[in-house]
Amino acid sequence: MNKFLGAAALIIISATLASAAEKPADFNRYYAGMRVANSSLRLSTKYRDFWGDSAYDTRRLHPIGFGMLVGYRFNESMRMDVEIDYMAAKARSGADRLSMNSNFVNFYYNLYNNRIVTPYIGLGMGIANVVVDSDSRGKAQSWFNFASQFATGLEFVLNDYLSMDLGARYRRFGSAKHENGDWTDVSAWQFYAGMNYKF
C-alpha cells in the first residue's frame, strides 16, 4: 500500500511542477490553515501464540487530531501543503495508550473548478513518531516512520481569502516494536474539517 501511494504521489508531483506556469497573474498563491480530524484508528499487533505461530490482535481507538498547515497553489487545479498533526487516545479498558505526531507533504488536484464548491483528491507522504503503551506488552516507540495518505474532499469558498475544507482520508503511520518483541502497526480513517486563509 505504501509503495502504491508513493508512486502515485510522484505522478502528482510531476504533474504539479509541469503545470506550475499556468497560474494567472492575480492568483492567490499562498495559504495557511487549521484542521480538526475525527479518527478511527486501527492498531494491529503481530505476536506469537501458544503454538509459536504468528497471530494478530486488532483494536480500535477514536482520537481527535489537530493540525496546522501552510501551502502553495501552483494554479487553479494544483496545490501542495506541509501539514503538522498531533493526536492522542486511551482505550476505555486502559490497556492501550497512544500518542502520535506526524508531518506530511501533501499534493492536491481539483477535479472540477467551481467558484463555490470544488471537489479534490490528494496524496501525501511524510514521517510519523508513534508511541503505543500497552499494559501487557510494554511501551512501543518508533521515530521517523514513513507515513502516507490518500484524501478526498470538498473546498467551500467563503470569500476571496477564506475557504472551508471537508473531507476524508486514509493514513498509514508505520509500525512500532514493544518491549516484549511484538510489533504494532498503526493506520487510520479520518474525517476532517478545516479553514484556509489565502494570501
Residues 159/1, Cβ–Cβ less than 8 Å: no
3-state secondary structure of 76: coil
- What span, in angstroms and rounded, lies between the C-alpha atoms of 145 and 12? 22
Give the three-state DSSP class for 15: helix
CATH class assigned to 2-21+32-198: mainly beta
Q: Which residues does 138 contact at the CB level (< 8 Å), separation at least 6?
A: 178, 179, 180
DSSP, collapsed to helix, strand or coil, labels residue 8 as helix
User: What is the rounded CA–CA span in Å between residue 86 and residue 46?
Assistant: 25
Query: Could you tell me the residue ranges of all domains in the chain?
Result: 2-21+32-198
pLDDT digits (tens, 9 = 90+) for 33-77: 999 999 999 999 887 666 666 778 888 999 999 999 999 999 989
pLDDT in tens, 126-167: 999 999 998 888 899 998 999 999 999 999 999 989 999 999
**Is pLDDT of 84 > 50?**
yes
Query: How many whole angstroms separate alpha carbon 62 and alpha carbon 118?
Result: 29
Q: What is the pTM of this model?
A: 0.82
Residue pair 131/101 in contact by the 8 Å Cβ criterion: no
pLDDT beyond 90 at 86: yes
Percent of the chain with pLDDT over 70: 81
Task: Indicate the length of the chain as a whole number.
Answer: 199
